[in-house]
Every structure is written in C-alpha cells, then in structure tokens.
Amino acid sequence: MQDVKTMICDNLSVSSRGHLLFGGHDTVELIRQYGSPLYVMDEEKIRRNARIYVDSMKQYFGNGSHPLFASKAASFKQIYRIIGQEGMGTDVVSAGEIYTAKAAGFDMSLAYFHGNNKTDADIAYAMENGVGCIVADNAEELEAIERLAGERGIRQKILLRLTPGIDPHTYEAVATGKVDSKFGAAIETGAAEELTLLALSKSNLDLWGFHCHVGSQVFDSEVYLAASEIMLSFVAKMQKDHGLVTRELNLGGGYGVRYTEADPVINIAENIALVAAELKKTAARLGIALPCILMEPGRSIVADAGLTLYTVGSVKEIKGYKNYVSVDGGMPDNPRYALYGSAYTVEIANKMDESKEFVCSVVGRCCECGDILQENVKLTSTVTRGDILAVLTTGAYNYSMASNYNRIPRLPIIMVTKDSSYVAVKRETFEDLIKNEI
Ligand code: LLP
C-alpha cells in the first residue's frame, strides 16, 4: 500500500479499498459517475492555495498588495468566480480570457491585461470591458493605447513590462525574464528607461508602475530576491531622474509546484516573507517608499488542485524493447510532455495497494508517436484494460492548452468540494466540434 505521507500533495490519499482519493473523493467513483476521461479539480484546494497568497501578501507587504491569478494556467468561468471570491485579481492575456472572466461576473477593474502583441482590437476590447490595467510591452503598443484611450476620452492605467535580465534556472520555453526575451523592455540595455519616458510623455496614459515575470516552475527563492532588487533600483532611478513615483510593482508569477517526489516542497508564505523583507530593506537603502506589490501566480494556485483520470485501453509488451500502456486521452488534453518533456506522477487509481514493477510508457490515442503522457513510468504489473489511470498535478496548463487534435472532444472539468461534486465545464460533444463549419 502506498504511504499517504509520501504522496506529492496533501489532498491525495488512499482508501481502504486501495483507491486513490482526491480531496476526499474516490477517483474510481468519479469516473463511474462522470465518464472517462476527466479533469478533476478540488475547489477547496484552489481556495487554500489562493488564500496563502492573499493573506501573506497582505501580512508582509501591507494593504493594497495582492495577488492576481494568472488565468492562462486555467481559464474557465468557474475559476474566475472562485478566485474572485478569495480576493484575487486576475492576469488576462487575450480578449478570449477577458470575455470569459467578464461572463463569469469577475470585477474587471481587477484585471491586468498582458501580452507582447496586443492588437488594436484587443486593446479596444479591454477598454470597452473595463479592464483595470494594461501591462504595456513595447513602444508601438504605447502609441496604440494612447490613441485608443484618446478616442474614448479616458486616461488608461498602465504598467510597463520590463525584463530584469535574470536566468530563473527553469526550462527555456518559460524563462521569460531574460534580456533576450520577446517580452517587455530590458533594463540593462536602456530600453526600459526609454519606454518609461515615452509613457510619461503621453497625456492619455497613467503610468502606475512596472512589471516583470522571471519565468515559470521556479524553486530558487534567490531569483525573486534578485528580481526585486533590480526592479526596485529601477523604480528609485525613475523617481530620482524623472520624478516618477511608482504606485505598483508587479513581480509576476512563477513559483514551482511538485509534479513528482523529486520536486521540492515550496513554502509560498515563507517565500513571500523573504521577498518582503528584502524589498523593505532595499527601499530603505534607496530612500523610496515601497510601492504596492502585486504577484501573478498561476501554476501554484491550480496545478496540484487538479488531476486527470483516464481508462486504460491496452497494454503492449514489445519483448526486449519497450512496454506501452495506452489510455483514452493523450496530447490533446495534456500536451506538456510532448512540448516540454514535463515530468508527472502516474498512478493506477484502482490499484494503489499493489507494488509497482512494470516499467512502461503511458501513451494516448492520437495517430502519432509523439502522443506520450509520460515515459519510464512504474505501474503495477497487473495493469490491464479497464483500469483507471491518474496523472497527478494537471490543474495548470492542461485544460487551457488542450486541443481537438484528431477531432477528440475536450474533457469536462469536474469540481469536487468537501461533500459533493459538480460539472464546472461540460464534456465537448461531436456537435461542438463542427459548430463553426459550413
Ligand atoms: N505572469 C506572466 C506575465 C506570465 O507570463 C506567466 C506565465 C505567469 C504570470 C504565471 O506563471 P506561473 O505562476 O503559472 O508559473 N505553458 C507553460 C507555462 C507558461 C507560462 C507562461 N507565463 C507550461 O505548461 O509549463
């Protein structure tokens, strides 16, 4: 029997029948009730994760400092309701995310609009839907915001996205704060100061401050301390040289989560306390007041609040070569292994009490060899058609990155609560697949 204490997240346990429990719910029963495959999310866990940020940011940075949920990690109506109720703002990166948040009744004044290439239509859409702040990326965008704000007779609150030039020691695709990143303006090259002066010269732009995002799945707290130091020094320089008093400093998202036992446990509250202490010290040294601090966690709010359940279809042993376990999902519902080689923990949810000796690749049902969920997985050697396979920690960047490749309908999201469960996102139908086709 798997020791509950060794499981990667505190909302996972094993029942006396050897079934995997998630948020106290029997995952085998969930499949029976809602069909296969399924994304399952634990509402209480999302709320707990959110509260850690809301409470510690208030405690350590003071009133006015708060987290924004980076909704690219998981964008659907119910998630905006949950994080709104917990006192988080949101980071949105497209008109589609704005539309979804608004449809959920989210307070759009708490939305920050990101992206390195917002079209005029995106910017106009954000303004018309009351998005509180636009995080401007470049000079062309500043000109467009200035013009579109002028046409509407408004003064648009903005932050400027800067790159502090830090290597966050994560994988390349998500290391976004380096000087050569496609995002923002680099402090090191002088581009950040130029962008600031341009923003200050515009009458329809209300420059509140600056933003940076060093990367994603980051465990090294030094990275945040270094970014804070660089950003605050820039804030002080802008104040001294150009009289700009920064009201908000947004440090982005990025704290890592445990996909496997090899990943460290990260204490978010302790990390926030560390960053706060460093920022206060630096602000005092630089002789400036500490602006309100924002953070944009995505993964660390939802990843471990989700898992995916599949049904095993076949077990193929190619003697002397490789073993395959095929499930009824794959890269359309979780492209992260195919894209980044991301590690996951995989369990046979109805056989948690059996030892694991069968080394295999867990693959999907797409017509392509790259359709792999995980390789070198150890499962019970009795694994067979009809077993329930769980991939853990899939609450972030799975549903939001899902596709209909091979015309496979997207999975539903089932939300479990303390004593019940409900459908937060319905399973796609074949009609949904062709609804835009003539
Ligand atoms: N803020 C900004 C401006 C971002 O670009 C991101 C993530 C976040 C916040 C949230 O970062 P988090 O706390 O979730 O690490 N698809 C990739 C992740 C891409 C993240 C992009 N930006 C993956 O599946 O690993």
Q: Looking at residue 7, what is its pLDDT?
A: 84
- Indicate the top mutation candidate among 52, 69, 72 to test ligand 1's pocket, ranked by most ligand atoms within 8 A of CB: 72
Residues 6+ apart with CB under 8 A from 434: none
Q: Looking at residue 169, what is its pLDDT?
A: 64
Question: What residue owns the CA closest to ligand 1's atom 23?
Answer: 397
Q: Looking at residue 4, what is its pLDDT?
A: 45
Question: What residue owns the CA closest to ligand 1's atom 16?
Answer: 397
CA distance 98 to 132: 11
Q: Name the token pair of 26.
A: 């029997």
Which numeric CATH code is attached to 114-297? Answer: 3.20.20.10
User: Which atom from ligand 1 is nearest to the alpha carbon of 301?
Assistant: 13
Q: Looking at residue 110, what is its pLDDT?
A: 98
Write out the catalytic residue numbers: 367
The reply to whether ligand 1 has any atom less than 6 angstroms from the CB of 380 is no
CA distance 427 to 228: 42
CA of 71 to the centre of ligand 1 (A): 9
CA of 250 to the centre of ligand 1 (A): 14
The reply to whether ligand 1 has any atom less than 6 angstroms from the CB of 114 is yes
The reply to whether ligand 1 has any atom less than 6 angstroms from the CB of 397 is yes
The reply to whether ligand 1 has any atom less than 6 angstroms from the CB of 91 is yes
- String of DSSP letters for 165-197: ----SS-GGG---STT-SSSEETTTTHHHHHHH
**Helix (H/G/I), strand (E/B), else coil: 387:** coil
Q: Looking at residue 175, what is its pLDDT?
A: 57
User: Which atom from ligand 1 is nearest to the alpha carbon of 171?
Assistant: 25
Q: Which of 34, 120, 125, 17 is nearest to 420 (CA)?
A: 34
Q: Which of 6, 9, 2 is nearest to 307 (CA)?
A: 9
User: Is the Cα dihedral 436, 127, 92, 139 positive or negative?
Assistant: positive
Alpha carbons within 13 A on the beta-carbon side of 282:
21
Largest interatomic CA distance in the chain: 72
Which residue type sits at 346?
V
DSSP 218: B
**Helix (H/G/I), strand (E/B), else coil: 324:** strand
The reply to whether ligand 1 has any atom less than 6 angstroms from the CB of 70 is yes
Sheet holding 20-22, edge to edge: 12-14, 20-22, 25-26
User: Which atom from ligand 1 is nearest to the alpha carbon of 297?
Assistant: 13
CA of 215 to the centre of ligand 1 (A): 7
* Domain spanning 4-42+303-434: CATH 1.20.1250.20: no
User: Which atom from ligand 1 is nearest to the alpha carbon of 218?
Assistant: 15
Domain boundaries, the chain: 4-42+303-434, 114-297
The reply to whether ligand 1 has any atom less than 6 angstroms from the CB of 253 is yes
**Helix (H/G/I), strand (E/B), else coil: 362:** strand
Q: What is the distance between the terminal CA atoms of the chain, rounded to a whole angstrom?
A: 54
Element holding 317 (H helix, E strand) = strand 306-318
The reply to whether ligand 1 has any atom less than 6 angstroms from the CB of 300 is yes
CA of 110 to the centre of ligand 1 (A): 19
H helix count then E strand count, the chain: 12, 21
Alpha carbons within 13 A on the beta-carbon side of 354:
16
Pair type for strands 346-348 and 388-392: antiparallel
Residues with pLDDT less than 70, the chain = 1-6, 168-178
Q: Is 294 left (phi over 0), alpha (psi -120 to 50) or beta?
A: beta
Q: Looking at residue 172, what is its pLDDT?
A: 57
The reply to whether ligand 1 has any atom less than 6 angstroms from the CB of 254 is yes
CA of 174 to the centre of ligand 1 (A): 7
CA of 178 to the centre of ligand 1 (A): 14
The reply to whether ligand 1 has any atom less than 6 angstroms from the CB of 336 is yes
CA distance 63 to 397: 31
Q: Looking at residue 165, what is its pLDDT?
A: 87
CA of 248 to the centre of ligand 1 (A): 20
